[in-house]
RNA sequence: UCCUCUGUAGCUCAGCGGUAGAGCGGGUGGCUGUUAACCACUAGGUCGUUGGUUCGAACCCAACCGGAGGAGCCA
């Protein structure tokens, strides 16, 4: 037996110490003796025994422990247990006599590891999302947030698996950057301090102004022009003063970059990736998704199934404008060629007209950044946005301008100083190739997969304007 | 940055000019193979802050502070 292949972390832990509740509940036969450790979700006492609901975060379900009043230490270790306390239970797993669960633990010993004081804020009943955000250090102990962060972990793994299976190389693009403008929004400045004094100018740590990255794309392109297919997956930062449920100042982004690739293949990849991730969530996180479907977003699972099974729609920006203008719909903002699609327009396309994820491509040149490839019509660029119902834009990508002269002209048109991008221009001077890529907002993917409506509730410790708690 | 809504017990909320309420959670006791358990008792609040109107303000008005939703920008 190959120890690496056949012994995951879970079974190593199993041998050494506790059994995760996830494994316990999957058992198909009773177990004579087992060690369970976790946190008390609720306890119901009677004269002769107590029922303790234990959760260890390994899955959504709790494990019911029956502790007889005759147990050694019952008065010290069982009676004082309140919601939130941590405990260690040795016992035997037997078929439950009650309804509601297949297995339960008949405790042989119970040890309270840490009591929870009486003001433990999490209860069994409904809390508002706003309150839970204010206790971000404790909210992972709730059903909802436990589920969200298990799905987050799985989706991160699944993203790596997708790209690795496709032969992509994972590249760590820098988090601190000195490119003074990447065209993707307001940036956070990186400075050093001496007490209160901020060091600028000659004292600047890097010798010039530096910032937190807003995108790893440009650096990613340099690696694609060497390793062919690469992806990045890391944190990005935007200092935009946005107050919406879809924006955070710190968020994670996945940015593949593919050499020898055009926009059409780029769109194929984005759609295949979405389907792969949704299919994996449905397969690997079904218990958690079922919980979201029931309590957060009714219809979530059938919507995800249709994303997995049905093909996406694809329309050019020009066609999309025609569809919107012909819709007879009363929009707050008029639909006009040459303007960005508004949220309401995107919603109409994905939620009413097509009722499925939709990729819009070939946008007018004027509303897109300098690095996007100019199409033969001279008016549009090879850009694409993948829009999904309920969220809007989840993926934004393009074929990059690989022609040196056209790129230079575009940079001039955007008032960019070529000297700041000499390394980027070099890619077009030495063995330039057609290439394309896109960015996927990881939190937006999670909102889509979980049905959670606010980006602050799919990232462990959200950073938004005016708020960087914890 | 703009527009809208909101702030009462630890939590979720009711009260909307006349002596601060409920449910949950906490504590105490009881009862039951219980499972958002149940029953009884109990503790817990300068009604976001400041100012104003009024005989009287949680309630009406203003400003400020916090929270949320939407727009723009984007991922």
3-state secondary structure of A427: helix
| pLDDT surpassing 50 at residue A122 | yes
Q: How confident is the model at residue A185 (pLDDT cuts 50, 70, 90)?
A: low
> Is the residue at A79 inside a domain?
yes
Residues A113 and A195 in one domain: no
* Dihedral of the alpha carbons of A186, A189, A195, A197, in degrees to the nearest 10: -90
DSSP A268-300: HHHHHHHHHHHHHHHHHSHHHHHHHHHHT-TTH
**% of chain A surpassing 90 pLDDT:** 63
CA torsion sign, A346 to A414 to A428 to A171?
negative
Residues A101 and A194 in one domain: no
Query: Mean pLDDT over residues A189-206, rounded?
Result: 85
DSSP H stretches of helix in A285-419 = 286-295, 300-309, 317-325, 343-347, 404-413
**B49 C1' to A229 CA distance, Å:** 57
> Is the residue at A128 inside a domain?
no
- Domain count within chain A: 2
Residues A94 and A226 in one domain: no
pLDDT digits (tens, 9 = 90+) for A424-460: 999 999 999 999 999 999 999 999 999 999 999 999 9
**Distance between CA A137 and CA A389 in Å, rounded?**
31
Residues A46 and A171 in one domain: no
Residues A326 and A238 in one domain: yes
Q: How confident is the model at residue A151 (pLDDT cuts 50, 70, 90)?
A: very high
Residues A84 and A191 in one domain: no
Q: Which of A85, A120, A155 is the last residue of a domain?
A: A120
Strand A229-237, strand A250-259: pairing: antiparallel
> Is the residue at A111 inside a domain?
yes
Query: Would you say A68 and A48 are in contact if contact means Cβ atoms under 8 Å apart?
Result: yes
| pLDDT surpassing 50 at residue A4 | no
| pLDDT surpassing 60 at residue A311 | yes
> Is the residue at A466 inside a domain?
no
Residue nearest to nucleotide B27 (CA to C1'): A118
Residues A353 and A380 in one domain: yes
Nearest residue to A151 (alpha-carbon basis) of A282, A10, A3, A1 = A282
- CB within 8 A of A433, min separation 6: which ones? A225, A259, A260, A402
Residues A281 and A398 in one domain: yes
Residues A392 and A311 in one domain: yes
| pLDDT surpassing 60 at residue A5 | no
- CB within 8 A of A22, min separation 6: which ones? A58, A59
Residues A15 and A74 in one domain: yes
Q: Which of the nucleotides in strand B have any atom less than 7 Å away from a protein CB atom?
A: 1-3, 10-13, 23-27, 30-37, 66-75
Q: What angle do CA A247, A271, A313 make, to 5 degrees?
A: 95
In the DSSP assignment, the letter for residue A186 is -
Q: What is the pLDDT of residue A376?
A: 95
Residues A95 and A148 in one domain: no
Find the domain containing A16 and state its range: 3-120
Q: Which of residues 157-216 of A touch strand B (CB under 7 A)?
A: 184-185, 215
Q: What is the pLDDT of residue A54?
A: 94
User: Is the Cβ atom of A139 within 7 Å of strand B at any atom?
Assistant: no
User: Is the Cβ atom of A121 within 7 Å of strand B at any atom?
Assistant: yes
Lowest mean pLDDT among A12-21, A126-135, A291-300: A12-21
CATH code of the domain in which A24 resides: 2.40.50.140
What angle do the packed helices A143-165 and A286-295 form, to 10 degrees? 130
**Order of all β-strands in the sheet with A189-190:** A176-177, A210-212, A189-190
Mean pLDDT of chain A: 90
The closest nt to A46, taking CA to C1', is B32
Nearest residue to A236 (alpha-carbon basis) of A466, A463, A470 = A463
pLDDT digits (tens, 9 = 90+) for A366-420: 889 999 999 999 999 999 999 998 888 899 999 999 999 999 999 998 888 888 8
Phi, psi of A264 (to 5 degrees): -60, -45
Q: What is the pLDDT of residue A91?
A: 94
**B35 C1' to A44 CA distance, Å:** 8
Token look-up 């899955």 returns A59
Residue nearest to nucleotide B32 (CA to C1'): A46
Q: How confident is the model at residue A9 (pLDDT cuts 50, 70, 90)?
A: low
The closest nt to A51, taking CA to C1', is B34
Nearest residue to A361 (alpha-carbon basis) of A251, A230, A271, A441 = A271
Residues A79 and A116 in one domain: yes
Q: Which of A58, A89, A120 is the last residue of a domain?
A: A120
DSSP A101-121: -SEEEEEEEEEEEE---TT--
* Dihedral of the alpha carbons of A343, A346, A348, A349, in degrees to the nearest 10: 180
């Amino acid at each position: 037996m190959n120890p690496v292949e056949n012994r995951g972390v879970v079974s190593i832990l199993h041998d050494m110490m506790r059994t995760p509740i996830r494994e316990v509940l999957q058992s198909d036969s009773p177990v004579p003796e087992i060690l369970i450790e976790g946190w008390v979700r609720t306890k119901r006492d009677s004269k002769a025994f107590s029922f303790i609901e234990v959760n260890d975060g390994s899955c959504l379900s709790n494990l019911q422990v029956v502790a007889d009043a005759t147990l050694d230490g019952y008065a010290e270790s069982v009676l004082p247990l309140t919601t939130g306390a941590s405990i260690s239970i040795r016992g035997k797993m037997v078929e439950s006599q009650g309804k509601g669960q297949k297995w339960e633990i008949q405790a042989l010993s119970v040890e309270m590891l840490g009591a929870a004081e009486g003001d433990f804020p999490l209860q069994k009943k409904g809390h508002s999302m706003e309150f839970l955000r204010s206790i971000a250090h404790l909210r992972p102990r709730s059903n909802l947030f436990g589920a969200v962060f298990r799905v987050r972990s799985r989706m991160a793994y699944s993203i790596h698996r997708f790209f690795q299976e496709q032969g992509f190389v994972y590249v760590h693009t820098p988090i601190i950057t000195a490119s003074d403008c990447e065209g993707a929004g307001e940036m956070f400045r990186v400075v050093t301090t001496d007490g209160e004094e901020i060091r600028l100018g000659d004292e600047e740590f890097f010798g010039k102004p530096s910032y937190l990255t807003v995108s790893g794309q440009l650096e990613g392109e340099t690696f694609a022009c060497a390793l062919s297919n690469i992806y990045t997956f890391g944190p990005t930062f935007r200092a935009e003063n946005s107050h919406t449920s879809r924006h955070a100042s710190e968020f994670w982004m996945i940015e593949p970059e593919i050499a020898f690739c055009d926009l059409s293949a780029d769109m194929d990849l984005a759609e295949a990736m979405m389907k792969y991730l949704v299919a994996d969530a449905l397969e690997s996180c079904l218990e958690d998704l079922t919980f979201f479907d029931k309590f957060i977003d009714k219809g979530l699972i059938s919507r995800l199934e249709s994303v997995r099974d049905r093909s996406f729609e694809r329309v050019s920006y020009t066609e999309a404008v025609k569809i919107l203008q012909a819709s007879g719909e009363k929009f707050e903002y008029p639909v006009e060629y040459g303007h960005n699609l508004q949220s309401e327009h995107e919603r109409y396309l994905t939620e009413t007209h097509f009722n499925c994820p939709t990729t819009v491509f070939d946008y007018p040149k004027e509303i897109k950044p300098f690095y996007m490839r100019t199409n033969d019509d001279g008016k549009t660029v090879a850009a694409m946005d993948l829009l999904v119902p309920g969220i809007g834009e989840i993926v934004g990508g393009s074929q990059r301008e690989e022609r040196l002269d056209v790129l230079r002209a575009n940079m001039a048109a955007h008032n960019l100083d070529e000297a700041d991008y000499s390394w980027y221009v070099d890619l077009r001077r030495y063995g330039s190739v057609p290439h394309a890529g896109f960015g996927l907002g990881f939190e937006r993917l999670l909102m889509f997969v979980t049905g959670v409506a606010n980006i602050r509730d799919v990232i462990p410790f959200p950073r938004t304007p005016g708020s960087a708690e914890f």
